[in-house]
Amino acid sequence: MNMATKQEIFKEKLAEYLAGDKEEKGRILDAVCGVMRCHRKAAVRRFKILQLRPRVWTGKKRGRRRWYGHEVTEAIRELWETSDRICAERLHSMIAEYIRVLERDDMWRHGNITTGLVRGVSIATLKRRIDSFERVKAGGGRGTTKPSHLKEIIPVRRGPWENPPPGFGEVDTVAHCGYTLCGDFSYTVQYTDVTTTWTCLSAQWNKGEKATVASIERVRRHLPFPLLGIDPDSGSEFINWLLHGWCEERDIKMTRTRPYMKNDHARIEQKNYTNVRRVVGYTRFDDHRHVALLNELYDALEDHINFFIPSMVCMKKERILSRTIRHYDTPQTAYQRVLKHQDISPEVKQKLTEKYATLNPKLLKEKRDRILSKLFKIRTCLNERLR
């Protein structure tokens, strides 16, 4: 006998039980307990619950009151899209700042009650809302890093970074080759600063020595502080005499990671997907026009990442039996880390503060999306021409 059947029996006998005297109630309890094999006290309690329960449905749901309705969910979705779909832990620290900037530029269309609820949302609630949003996953790509015969000229960096000053960063390339490495196509060179997490991006045609030097020069110009050192992998685009000489002329220290050890490049390997693949995907860009558009795209993307996308830095790892627990610092943007760093000059901080006052994350994302549509339009035209 299932619970629904038992409930029906109790409901059927309820009126008779309530109207009967002591002897009649006893006979009903004997009959009910004999059929359902339950204790008399359990049957008495069930009749009591049904007696006190409202006979007419009032429309009220059981459980806790719902505080965050559809309006709050849509406001969170807008902030999540503006932040380029980052995780709840990173987004939570920037909610108030995003709302302030959007209100400043009259782009926040939500009421005061909704705004107050969004400002006070907890990380757990934010995670549940973000987990319910739809996501699109892209396919995989191809690796292009090969060992160089000149790798002996560049010293290998051993061990983790030990709090270097701003200006020392990891460098890597991302191939926009589609499903094949044959032919000519575009590459992206990415730099991420170890201390401040500041990110610079540059597109180039193929991965020749001169093109790579030009990309590193662009990175050097876009960094708000001096470039002191680069740490690439063992790819031939980095391990060559031209780039090595360029670094020596400018007193830039150059090291490399151990071959086939991607964990030595953990910061940049993770950001290759977060900053590049998630934005431009795995499409093949094999037209010279793509390089100019990618660099135009990266101008807006750099500002979006460095000024409005917070990141968390792992401070320590704790081993408990078979588990490793990582402890992270408070989510901060690269801009916030630069302002707090003592080794960066006040002039640089003042210049960045003035630039930050003119930026809007939603406008930067809209500009990025417009350039992306141009990129994929060229790609579509090329495919139709090949057919």
Is CATH 3.30.420.10 correct for 151-386? Answer: yes
Helix ranges (H only) for the chain are: 3-19, 22-36, 40-52, 70-82, 88-92, 95-104, 112-119, 123-131, 209-222, 241-249, 266-271, 278-280, 288-308, 334-340, 346-356, 361-386
Enumerate the domain spans of the chain.
3-52, 70-131, 151-386
Residues 290, 203 contacting (CB under 8 angstroms): yes
Residues 286, 194 contacting (CB under 8 angstroms): no
Crossing angle of the two packed helices 95-104 and 112-119, in degrees rounded to 10: 150
Q: Identify residue 327 by its one-letter amino acid code.
A: H
Using DSSP, state whether 109 is helix, strand or coil. coil
CA distance 169 to 376: 31
Q: Residue 318 burial (CB < 10 Å; 0-12/13-18/19+)?
A: exposed
Tens of pLDDT along the chain (387 residues) come to: 788 888 888 888 888 888 889 889 999 999 989 888 889 999 999 888 888 876 655 556 666 777 788 899 999 999 999 998 888 999 999 999 999 999 999 999 999 999 999 999 999 999 999 998 877 666 666 666 655 556 667 888 877 788 899 999 999 999 999 888 889 999 999 999 999 999 999 999 999 999 999 999 999 999 999 999 999 988 888 888 899 999 999 999 999 888 777 778 888 888 999 999 999 999 899 889 999 999 999 999 999 999 999 998 888 888 888 888 988 889 999 999 999 999 999 999 999 999 999 999 999 999 999 999 998 888 666 665 555
Q: What is the pTM of this model?
A: 0.74
pLDDT digits (tens, 9 = 90+) for 71-86: 999 999 999 999 988 8
CA distance 247 to 168: 13
Q: Determine which helix (DSSP H) or strand (DSSP E) holds 231, and give its type and residue range.
A: strand 229-231
Q: Residue 296 burial (CB < 10 Å; 0-12/13-18/19+)?
A: middle
